[in-house]
Amino acid sequence: MTTTTAPNTAPGAAARDGALLAGLDLHKSFGPTAALTGASLDVLPGELIAVLGASGSGKSTLLHCLAGLTRPDAGTVGYRGADLWAMSDAARSALRRTQFGFVFQFGQLVPELTLLENTALPLRLNGQRRRPAEQQAREWLERLDVADLAGKRPGELSGGQGQRAAIARALVTGPSVVFADEPTGALDSLHGERVMALLSAAARDSGAAVVLVTHDLRVAAYADREVVVHDGRTEDRGRLL
């Protein structure tokens, strides 16, 4: 397995040795609004990074560029040495499906599917047969303490239960990176802490790195490293542990 990063195109911005994912000198504008103006962020295997910053500073845009969801206007995103934004759409979406997991503020579970079907969905989309996919999904629901709700639909769950299922779904494929955008943003502080503890423990156990956008300093306390986005640029606060 190679762990090299994308070519360093940004003067002064270099990825750390062994980085799995490296966004370098990213720029992105939406019409007249400059969302990213030279943001860089790299991720080591298994590392939990909190991305902090004021509202509108560019955190979500940075996460979306790193995750292959939003194309930057300039800069590179390297994943294991391949430039995410130089590959075909099909290759990038296959990479997203197999290497990345996603947890968003409101879970984004499919309302018509049960929790078990929702959790098995990424495996089914990767071509796995129903029975083994659902077996794996059930194991993850057990880990996240919501296996008793496997037959329920998202509308029947509390916000915290839904987020636990969303974490199970994000981790079921064994991704190397989980992208989480305000995963506890819709929860009260008690449930938010519980969900965060489960996400960080589950990611650590499975070796997945986590890139986590949050406003909440208590959530950021779970991170190995904090990166602050300020007017579309990143400032690394370094390793906290």
Ligand X SMILES: Nc1ncnc2c1ncn2[C@@H]1O[C@H](COP(=O)(O)OP(=O)(O)OP(=O)(O)O)[C@@H](O)[C@H]1O
Instruction: Rank residues 30 and 130 by Cβ distance to ligand X and give the closer one.
Output: 30
8-state DSSP, 15: P
Residues 229, 100: Cα–Cα separation, whole Å: 22
Two structure tokens written together for 26: 């990213």
Using the minimum distance from each CB to ligand X, give the nearer residue, 136 or 163: 163
Supply the minimum distance, in Å, between the C-beta of residue 57 and ligand X.
Answer: 4
Q: Supply 210's token pair.
A: 């986590």
Contact 39, 215 (CB under 8 A): no
What are the CA-CA distances from residue 161 to residues 45, 117, 118, 123 (Å)? 28, 15, 13, 21
Task: Rule CB under 6 A: say whether 161 interacts with ligand X.
Answer: no
Which region among 1-9, 30-38, 143-151, 155-163 touches ligand X (by CB under 6 A)?
30-38
Using CB under 6 A as the binding rule, the residues of this chain from 57 to 76 that contact ligand X are 57-61
Angle between helices 189-206 and 159-171 (to 10 degrees): 10
Q: Determine the distance from the C-alpha atom of residue 34 to the mean position of all C-alpha atoms in its chain, rounded to a whole number.
A: 23
Q: Considering beta carbons, is residue 61 or 76 the nearer one to ligand X?
A: 61
> How many residues interact with ligand X (rule CB under 6 A)?
11
Any contact of residue 30 with ligand X (CB under 6 A)? yes
In the complex, the smallest distance separating the C-beta of residue 202 from ligand X, rounded to whole angstroms, is 24
Interface with ligand X, residue 118, by CB under 6 A: no
Examine residue 33 and tell whether it contacts ligand X (CB under 6 A). yes
Q: Which residues bind ligand X (CB under 6 A)?
A: 30, 33, 35, 53, 55-61
